[in-house]
Structure 1
Amino acid sequence: MQTTRIKGLTIAAIGVLFITPDALLVKITSVDPVVFLFWRGLLLAISFLVINGVRYRSGLMSEMRKCGWKGLFCAAAFAMSTLGFVVGMKNTAAGNVLVILNTAPVIAAVIAWLIWKETLPLRTWVIIIVCVTGATIMAISELGRGEPLGLFMAFLAATALASNLNVARSKPDADMSVMLMFGALMVAGAAALVGGVQIPSLRDSLFIALLCLVFLPVAATLIQIGPRYIPAAEVSMMLLLETIIGAFLVWLFLGEVPTPLSLVGGLIVLSALATHGWIEVTRYRSIKTQTSE
């Protein structure tokens, strides 16, 4: 059991590391958000197809059928979380969006408890609350006037993310990551309907390709696999690490210096996640020692 948890935490952590360049590469590009969404969705769909084709080969269709309606739900939720994040950022202050998105671990834990009767240990609840507090402190410096549409879409993104990971968690024998290509196609289709089918500049095309053919498909696949081994709330909690590393990359390459509050909040999140990892590894070693004896 503990070996499975360590595996899940490792998979989710690697996935988060791959997603951290997202904010930087989005900021570097100068394309319209709708155009960005179209190419993001289309290239991700192609990447997911290639990744899963290599992983499952002729067994891919069988793996998709195994996911059933829950797989379709995960695909739709993946699309909704992507659209909610982008539209939210477009219609309200970034700080408002981040504060709402930071509630995803709590939403995931509540959904798991209400629907699947899955409870978390007290220590995990404490870590989640500390992480959410730290991430919220990071976002406070950017808080601004909230447009209702932006706030609603940010909440929709957080709920869709939490719901996606919970549904994936409820069917651990199926690999829901094989369904993400359909969610990506939904994003591309929605963007195409509102004029997103445009060719970006060569510079922007290179950055979009780097993000959507390399970093995001690997990240999304690993994060989607994470709930097969650990609760959805813990996967959502690991995603808070993206806020810290992503902000660091933006500062390193674009010179956007984080505020003192951001540094304090980031330190809180890092400390909480490091403590969580240390506790899990210590418990794993203790169980392994007892077993060997």
Structure 2
Amino acid sequence: MNKVSDDGERRRRSLRLKGFLIAGLGVLLLSPDSLLVKVTEVSPLVFLFWRGLLLAFGFTVINTLRYGRDLPGLMVKGGWAGLYCAFAFFLSTVGFVTGIKYTAAGNVLVILNTAPVIAALLAWAFWRERLPLRTWLLIGVCVGGATLMALGEMGKGEPLGLVMAGLAAFGLASNLAVARSRSTVDMSVMLVLGALLTTLVAAALGGAQWPGWPDMGFITLLCLGFLPSATILIQTGPRYLPAAEVSLLLLLETVIGTFLVWAFLAEVPPPLSFVGGGIILAALAMNGAFEALRQRRRNSLLAGPQP
């Protein structure tokens, strides 16, 4: 019985590590998103049209390579939960792009940092999934650091940008929470539907226009280079980790994304941004070190005394 329990615990921790690696790589690939959205000079509707169209193509290619002829059946298997994930992806995409266009990148990224709290509350309210106190403390520290990053940019931009960023945070959190509730199904195959919905809505509102160069080059680089793989990896994360912990890893984008915008577009972060960014990085690094230490101790106990 103990061996079965130990094997189960070892497998659970192995899956957690796999989830951290998958979602973490996705976040790193996602980090140039704010910069490449900000650097273009097209309207949000035109950007959304091409973003949705190119992402739909990218998602289709990647998932076809992954699953081949099984892809349609996997999409059907997603059911209503999968359809909601697709719709929530649409909400987060529209909210993020519109928010970036109408307010400072730091504001949008900070509002998105409420996603771990939203995801945790949704998971608790609907599926009674509980997080350990340590994770709640980590969320609190990281959101506090993100708030410091935002203080210097408060009041910049239009209120619409802040509202849309809030919509993006809810869409992101609810998407990951619902995906977690069906962890046996790969919900990343549903992303193509969310991307197509984005394209159709943007086209209906007049976004089906050629953006010209070099904007089309930036959009293509983002939507065929970074985003498809990044989004699929992040969407896969809840199969192995609670939605709140996947959202927590997205806090890395707050730091990396803000400083990429600073480096390339001269949107200079205020001094508090350096403090807040340091807090986020330190908290996530300490959590990673704690997880690694606990795993090492657990492995030592499972191995038992050596002859």
Bin for the TM-score computed over the shorter chain: over 0.9
Question: Could you say which residue in structure 2 is the equivalent of 1:256?
Answer: 267
- Partner of 1:202, secondary structure, is coil
Could you say which structure has the larger radius of gyration?
A: 2
* Most deviating of 90-99 and 283-292: 90-99
Alignment partner for residue 125 of structure 2, among 114, 119, 128? 114
| Structure 1 residues 196 and 94: alpha-carbon distance in aligned structure 2, compared to 1, 3 A threshold | same
1:247 aligns with 2:258: yes
Q: Which amino acid aligns with 1:114?
A: A
| Structure 1 residues 291 and 123: alpha-carbon distance in aligned structure 2, compared to 1, 3 A threshold | same
1:283 aligns with 2:301: no
1:218 aligns with 2:218: no
For the Cα contact (< 8 Å) 1:95–1:144, is it kept in 2? no
Question: Could you say which residue in structure 2 is the equivalent of 1:45?
Answer: 56
For the Cα contact (< 8 Å) 1:11–1:225, is it kept in 2? yes
| Structure 1 residues 121 and 170: alpha-carbon distance in aligned structure 2, compared to 1, 3 A threshold | same
For the Cα contact (< 8 Å) 2:148–2:276, is it kept in 1? yes
Runs of at least 5 residues in structure 2 that lack an aligned partner in the other structure: 1-11
- Cα distance in 2 for partners of 1:256, 1:85 equals 18
- Cα distance in 1 for partners of 2:93, 2:54 equals 14
| Per-residue CA distance 1:213-272 (angstroms, 9 max, x = gap) | 010001100000000000100111110110111122223333333210110000000001
Runs of at least 5 residues in structure 1 that lack an aligned partner in the other structure: none
Question: Could you say which residue in structure 2 is the equivalent of 1:3?
Answer: 14
- Cα distance in 2 for partners of 1:136, 1:226 equals 25
Question: Could you say which residue in structure 2 is the equivalent of 1:169?
Answer: 180
Alignment partner for residue 101 of structure 1, among 89, 107, 112? 112
TM-score by length of 1: 0.95
Identity of aligned residues (%): 62
Deviation of the 1:184 alpha carbon:
0.5
1:207 aligns with 2:218: yes
Deviation of the 1:146 alpha carbon:
8.1
Alignment partner for residue 81 of structure 2, among 70, 77, 96? 70
Question: Could you say which residue in structure 2 is the equivalent of 1:12?
Answer: 23
For the Cα contact (< 8 Å) 2:92–2:169, is it kept in 1? yes
Q: Which amino acid aligns with 1:101?
A: L
Question: Could you say which residue in structure 2 is the equivalent of 1:141?
Answer: 152
* Most deviating of 5-14 and 152-161: 152-161
- Cα distance in 1 for partners of 2:157, 2:225 equals 34
Alignment partner for residue 22 of structure 1, among 33, 51, 54? 33
- Cα distance in 2 for partners of 1:256, 1:95 equals 9
